Amino acid sequence: MTANKRALSYGYLRPRADRVDDLTVEFLSGTTSATVRAAGSGDAVLENWPPGSDITATVTCTVDLDGVLGDCGFDPSGDRPPIVLFARWSCPSTSIRGSGRPQAVRDGVNRVSVDIDGSAVSRAVNVELVVTLGSAPNPRGNPVSPSRPGSVLWRDSVRVYIEGSGTSVPTTPLDFREAGIRPDGAMWRIEFDRDLEVHASRGVRVLINSSHPVCRKALDNLASGKRPTPETRLWQRFLEIDLRTQLAVFAVGQAAETDLTMFADDEMSFGASLLRVLQLYFPNEDWSRLHRRSLDDPGLIPSAVQNLFREAV
């Protein structure tokens, strides 16, 4: 998330960052939801998001309107220039973005919403709240007061990671005995590509043992087009947790050998995916030392994954 950067020169007065406070964004899609608070809570995960489903983001904040006007050089007791706010979204993976309708800022609690096209997003969505000057003030006030409609006075953003039901990586059912995969009684096997420059879709592969009775039953249920049974949903959750755990373990191991931030600008690379895993589970850790810590504390990574996996079966 990004704080309001007053150090950046805009050529006009802007309000203090704390004039807009208590920023909270609630994401809702069908029956799944996630809430992000900008004040240091980290990113959130929209668990079990049905791919393609639209998402509504509702942004709530508290505005000190007199403080905003005063910091910008306007007389709060005089003719008040219109101050508006709106929410906009963007998806780093698809470079698609959209915006909600602006509304007048009022002193105290404000709430705006923006609808996110589910067919245009994947992996993660950023939602930004923007406070701007609605129209040219009359009179202008301070010579360095903002004067152009649309002048940005304040902004801050949060990110939510979106995940579909089941795994979001290539999955291949096959008979482990016939394929010569050992042990042939395992339910699945998760494989990773050590070439971090490959496309993210090629970085992970899940092999499902179709000869395992539990897997066979779950696969048949999913292929039938019927609603997943409680047993199938439980099987999916076990697979999902194991996938996330192994992916986090792999990411931590790679971070001990490679500076994953070098992939930050290559959003579609496997290395960037691993970087996002670390940002999600260990946002405040020294990633280069995590591998050694995980060897001394084997429960470190699994517990971090479980901490963000709170969906009931």
What is the average per-residue pLDDT within 24-34?
Answer: 83
Look at residue 312 and tell me if it is in a domain: no
Look at residue 9 and tell me if it is in a domain: no
Q: Which among 110, 137, 162 is the end of a domain?
A: 162
Residues 131 and 176 occupy one common structural domain: no
Residue 6 above 60 pLDDT? Answer: no
CATH code of 158's domain: 2.60.40
- Which range marks the domain in which residue 197 is found? 171-307
Look at residue 113 and tell me if it is in a domain: yes
* Residue corresponding to tokens 């709430």: 111
Residue 104 above 50 pLDDT? Answer: yes
Residue 5 pLDDT: 43
Residues 23 and 139 occupy one common structural domain: yes
Residues 147 and 205 occupy one common structural domain: no
Residue 306 pLDDT: 87
Residues 54 and 83 occupy one common structural domain: yes
Look at residue 1 and tell me if it is in a domain: no
Residues 302 and 262 occupy one common structural domain: yes
- State if pTM tops 0.75: no
Instruction: Look at residues 275, 92, 271, 252 and name the one whose alpha carbon lies nearest to residue 197.
Output: 271
Instruction: Look at residues 150, 143, 155 and name the one whose alpha carbon lies nearest to residue 2.
Output: 155
Residue 215 above 50 pLDDT? Answer: yes
5 — phi, psi (to 5°)?
Answer: -100, 90
What is the average per-residue pLDDT within 61-70?
Answer: 96
Residues 122 and 95 occupy one common structural domain: yes
What is the average per-residue pLDDT within 245-257?
Answer: 95
Q: Which among 162, 190, 210 is the end of a domain?
A: 162
Residue 39 above 90 pLDDT? Answer: no
Residue 2 pLDDT: 46
Look at residue 313 and tell me if it is in a domain: no
Residues 108 and 175 occupy one common structural domain: no
The CA distance from 160 to 137, in Å, is: 36
Residues 135 and 177 occupy one common structural domain: no
Q: Which among 122, 137, 162 is the end of a domain?
A: 162
Residues 155 and 232 occupy one common structural domain: no
Residues 26 and 156 occupy one common structural domain: yes
Question: Helix 287-296 crosses helix 230-255 at what angle (to 10 degrees)?
Answer: 120
Cα 74 from chain centroid? 37
Q: What burial class does residue 3 get, using C-beta atoms within 10 Å of its C-beta: 0-12 exposed, 13-18 middle, 19+ buried?
A: exposed
Q: Give 139's DSSP letter.
A: S
Look at residue 280 and tell me if it is in a domain: yes
Look at residue 247 and tell me if it is in a domain: yes
**E-assigned strand segments in 168-234:** 171-174, 188-192, 204-209
Q: Which helix (H) or strand (E) holds 30?
A: none
Q: Cβ distance 148 to 136 under 8 Å? A: yes
Look at residue 290 and tell me if it is in a domain: yes
Span 108-153, pLDDT tens digits: 999 999 999 887 787 789 999 999 999 888 766 678 999 999 999 9
Residues 133 and 181 occupy one common structural domain: no
pLDDT band at 7 (very low <50, low <70, confident <90, very high): very low
Span 265-279, pLDDT tens digits: 887 789 988 998 998
* Residue corresponding to tokens 């050590």: 194
Residues 138 and 175 occupy one common structural domain: no
The domain total for the chain is: 2
Residue 153 pLDDT: 96
Q: Cβ distance 240 to 166 under 8 Å? A: yes
Q: Which residues pair with 206 in a beta bridge?
A: 171, 190
